[in-house]
Amino acid sequence: MAKSSADDEELRRACEAAIEGTKQKVVMSIRVAKSRGIWGKSAKLGRGQMAKPRVLAISTKAKGQRTKAFLRVLKYSTGGVLEPAKLYKLKHLSKVEVVTNDPSGCTFMLGFDNLRSQSVSPPQWTMRNVDDRNRLLMCILNICKDVLGRLPKVVGIDVVEMALWAKENTPTIPKQLGNQQDGPVEVAGAEGDMKVTVEKELVSQAEEEDMEALLGTYVMGIGEAEAFSERLKRELQALEAANVHAILENVPLMDEVLQGLESATNCVEDMDEWLGIFNVKLRHMREDIESIETRNNKLEMHSVNNKSLVEELDKLLERLCIPSEYAACLTGGSFDEARMLQNIEACEWLTNALRSLEVPSLDPCYADMRAVREKRAELDKLKSTFVRRASEFLRNYFASLVDFMISDKSYFSQRGQLKRPDHADLRYKCRTYARLLQHLKSLDKNCLGPLRKAYCSSLNLLLRREAREFANELRASTKASRNPTVWLEGSTGSSQNVNNADTSTVSEAYAKMLTIFIPLLVDESSFFAHFMCFEVPALVPPGGLANGKGGPNDNDDGNDDDLGILDIDDNDSKSGKSTAELEALNESLRDLLDGIQEDFYAVVDWAYKIDPLRCISMHGITERYISGQKADAAGFVRLLLDDLESRISMQFGRFVEEACHQIERNERNVRQVGVLSYIPRFATLATRMEQYIQGQSRDLVDQAYTKFVTIMFVTLDKIGQADPKYADILLLENYAAFQNSLYDLANVVPTLAKFYHQASEAYEQACTRFISTIIYYQFERLFQFARRIEDLMYTITPEEIPFQLGLSKMDLRKVVKSSLSGVDKAIATMYKKLQKNLTSEELLPSLWDKCKKEFLDKYDSFAQLVAKIYPSENIPSVKEMSELLASM
């Protein structure tokens, strides 16, 4: 029997090559003939319905844990190579029908439920024999059962017959190792790559029994061997004769067949030769086509590359091209205000052109091209030319603006007219060139240094002239009486009323100077920092505290620091400030404002000469302005205010030192009696100083109080030490006067309250010493006797004291008689002595009360000692003595 195409390994490899790349595995491949038919009807073969050779291949594809099955139809190309024609998914196979009109039973049709048009006649597949048909259909049914879990509808074939055929044609694989005697091993399943031997059982057991029964009923007469042998020989000869006769009859037919075969063989050989020639030509033609396609692809690639190269070169040429109008503007254009828009556009173009030739914007492969290097050098030359021309113009422009303003006297204060400096027009003209300065910075940062110095130098002349003229006219127009600087001199010739002149206009003039110029200087600093492109934050805090008050009218030009321009670089909007940039800004501000402080110093010195105490109010005004300056860029203005504060503090310190020297000169005078002159004068001075305090000048005044009072108390002690006899009287009278004159101020000024309490303690101590001196002067023997008793009580018992020398009862009687006889006269003498020594009559009542109280306390102690030591002795009682003092 001919070998089935299902076992053709070469056919399977060809099928696998045709579907290579689909990741599908061929399970079975078999050759078939394709024709068209209709369900349930036979197909008549004609010229239009000739059977076409095809190959059916069943393939599978594993996808995860699932397996997909396909039925592929492959056809032969012109070169005899298999190529895919159609693809069916077995999951859509719904019907298998064997065509009944085909007597051989080798034709069948496959029905799929996903075909677009069921009206189109499905193809009919015809196998070489029934075995090939059964092998293909069994393979399809097994895959549908195992993979898809269902079977399609089968029509025109008995399923049982198919099962019997499958059992009879189960392939066996002989063992290749060892146990060959065990016989073949049956393996059911699809065909593998190895050869199999198929054993068929010709008849079944039942058929064999039927045949034996049939043979048993037939009498062949083989009992006689010779007769049977002769019979067989005769039949054989008859058969041979019949065969020879048939052969002889068929010789002409065979000759015709042989001739036809020979001619067909010749045609086949000719055809084979022609096909070989055509194959060679086709191979050469194929090679030529491949060569042409290769060259064509290269040409297309060259064309695309050349087109891209031309586009890139056009872009590069566009970058390298310098517009004539920009070149003319950069090299020789005018800087007039009307031409500034063209200059700015030229600067922007130049900046962008330079950036476009740098590596971040330009492809690195172009960076080293000679044309790019030459164009970069040309742009650098344009940049340096433009920067030099613009810098020279701006330096001359700044100088001409300031010279024009200085030459016009109407810009400055004149006699009888104070004029507030107005720089609005100046800043407006400068703003015209603000964008130009920003572009100059982006082109060459080093060019800003000379421009900043030129601007500072020119504007410094204008600011100093304005400040000088304003300060001169301010001093000339302020009318104020000059107060003497001698406040605490010991001379009695000076009057107290000369210090009461009103000098408030002096401090008002100083405040006006600050109100006008401090906001102006802050605005100029702010405008300068923005105009000259310093990368610093806002210079004036929101709300405008530049004048220390924040009033709406304190700064008429509050928006002058806004240049009305946008920053070119993104970095200009950063809030972080560079230390180096701030240092450069402060250095430039020093050049801008340096020298203007001299005119402020002149106003301070002038105010000091008129009234030194006005330094207090000027110090408070300056402190308020200092607290209002918080912006970093106003650093020089803050330094100016600090210097002004130091100057005011120095002048006031001079006044305080001079006043201290006036106090110290009191001790070199003749003997001092009564209240010293600087005590009441200090009270007047303190009252005046409190009236002048403004803002944060309290510390300055408190320091002056401390110096004054300390020197006053030290000088008072020195004067008292010069005359010890009357020292206590001098001290108590002056400390009392200090307390009386400063009582009201001490209640509101903590520093003076501290010295008030110090004076009160010193007064009490001086009173105690003075009263004790007067009492002992009149009753010395009495209280000396009591002191001796008190001293002995530390060493002996009270009972032994009367037996001591000088302390007997007799001695007690003598002391009491000598001291207390005429005690009223002695007390009167004490009062007269107290009255004689005091110069302040208002102190006498309080001192006399203290004296009587002190005397009673001492006498009470004496009476208690006598009652304890000398219980039998009688002396005037304390009550009698108290009544006597009360009656006097």
Q: What is the mean pLDDT of residues 332-355?
A: 72
- pLDDT confidence of 632, banded at 50, 70, 90? very low
- pLDDT confidence of 268, banded at 50, 70, 90? very high
Provide the 3-class DSSP secondary structure of residue 409.
helix
pLDDT of res. 191: 41
Q: How far apart are CA 470 and CA 342, in angstroms?
A: 42
Q: Which of 395, 393, 391 is nearest to 383 (CA)?
A: 391
Q: How far is CA 80 from the centre of its chain?
A: 73
566 compared with 397, residue with greater pLDDT: 397
The yes-or-no verdict on residue 542 having pLDDT over 80 is: no
pLDDT of res. 780: 72
The yes-or-no verdict on residue 173 having pLDDT over 50 is: no
Most confident range (mean pLDDT) of 177-191, 207-221, 590-604 is 590-604
Q: How far is CA 765 from the centre of its chain?
A: 71
Most confident range (mean pLDDT) of 317-326, 492-501, 567-576 is 317-326
The answer to whether the CB of 603 falls within 8 A of the CB of 512 is no
- pLDDT confidence of 292, banded at 50, 70, 90? very high
The answer to whether the CB of 838 falls within 8 A of the CB of 844 is yes
Q: How far apart are CA 376 and CA 322, in angstroms?
A: 11
The yes-or-no verdict on residue 389 having pLDDT over 50 is: yes
pLDDT of res. 806: 74
User: What's the sign of the alpha-carbon dihedral 457, 459, 465, 470?
Assistant: negative
Amino acid residing at 38: I
Q: Which of 349, 361, 304 is nearest to 325 (CA)?
A: 349
pLDDT of res. 200: 41
Task: Encode 290-303 in three state secondary structure.
Answer: HHHHHHHHHHHHHH
pLDDT of res. 189: 40
The answer to whether the CB of 521 falls within 8 A of the CB of 513 is no
Q: How far apart are CA 512 and CA 520, in angstroms?
A: 12
Q: How far apart are CA 542 and CA 155, in angstroms?
A: 98
pLDDT of res. 362: 61
- Cα angle: 645, vertex 646, 651; to 5 degrees: 100
Q: How far apart are CA 859 and CA 878, in angstroms?
A: 7
784 compared with 497, residue with greater pLDDT: 784
Supply the Cα-derived Rg of the chain in whole angstroms.
69
- pLDDT confidence of 73, banded at 50, 70, 90? very high
**What is the per-residue pLDDT across 430-459, written as a single tens digit (0 to 9) for each?**
888 888 878 788 777 787 788 888 888 888
**What is the per-residue pLDDT across 49-67, written as a single tens digit (0 to 9) for each?**
578 899 999 999 888 788 8
pLDDT of res. 360: 59
**What is the per-residue pLDDT across 544-576, written as a single tens digit (0 to 9) for each?**
444 444 433 344 444 444 443 334 344 444 444
pLDDT of res. 502: 72
For the beta sheet containing 107-112, the strands, ordered from the edge strand earlier in sequence to the opposite edge, are 82-89, 66-76, 52-63, 25-36, 123-126, 107-112, 93-98, 153-155
Task: Give the contacts of 792 (CB within 8 A, at least 6 positions apart).
Answer: 801, 804, 807
pLDDT of res. 285: 92
Q: What is the mean pLDDT of residues 646-670?
A: 82
Q: How far apart are CA 214 and CA 717, in angstroms?
A: 174
Task: Encode 675-734 in three state secondary structure.
Answer: CCCHHHHHHHHHHHHHHHCCCCCHHHHHHHHHHHHHHHHHHHHHHHHHCHHHHHHHHHHH
Q: Which of 123, 96, 99, 111 is nearest to 36 (CA)?
A: 123
pLDDT of res. 221: 53
pLDDT of res. 275: 92
Q: What is the mean pLDDT of residues 347-373?
A: 67
The answer to whether the CB of 484 falls within 8 A of the CB of 499 is yes
357 compared with 424, residue with greater pLDDT: 424
813 compared with 46, residue with greater pLDDT: 813
pLDDT of res. 563: 41
Q: How far apart are CA 135 and CA 30, in angstroms?
A: 10
Q: Which of 174, 175, 158, 178 is nearest to 166 (CA)?
A: 158
Q: Which of 664, 661, 712, 667 is nearest to 686 (CA)?
A: 712
Q: How far apart are CA 474 and CA 413, in angstroms?
A: 9
The yes-or-no verdict on residue 25 having pLDDT over 80 is: yes
The yes-or-no verdict on residue 125 having pLDDT over 50 is: yes
pLDDT of res. 357: 65
- Cα angle: 207, vertex 129, 88; to 5 degrees: 125
Distances in whole angstroms, Cα of residue 620 to Cα of each of 193, 648, 654, 707 = 113, 10, 18, 20
The answer to whether the CB of 688 falls within 8 A of the CB of 648 is no
Provide the angle, in degrees to the nearest 10, between the axes of the packed helices 340-356 and 434-443.
Answer: 20
Q: How far apart are CA 304 and CA 748, in angstroms?
A: 97
Q: How far apart are CA 577 and CA 459, in angstroms?
A: 26
Residue 803, classified by CB atoms within 10 Å of its CB into exposed (0-12), middle (13-18) or buried (19+), is exposed
The yes-or-no verdict on residue 391 having pLDDT over 50 is: yes
The answer to whether the CB of 518 falls within 8 A of the CB of 638 is no
Q: Which of 573, 563, 572 is nearest to 526 (CA)?
A: 563
Provide the angle, in degrees to the nearest 10, between the axes of the packed helices 614-628 and 504-531.
Answer: 20
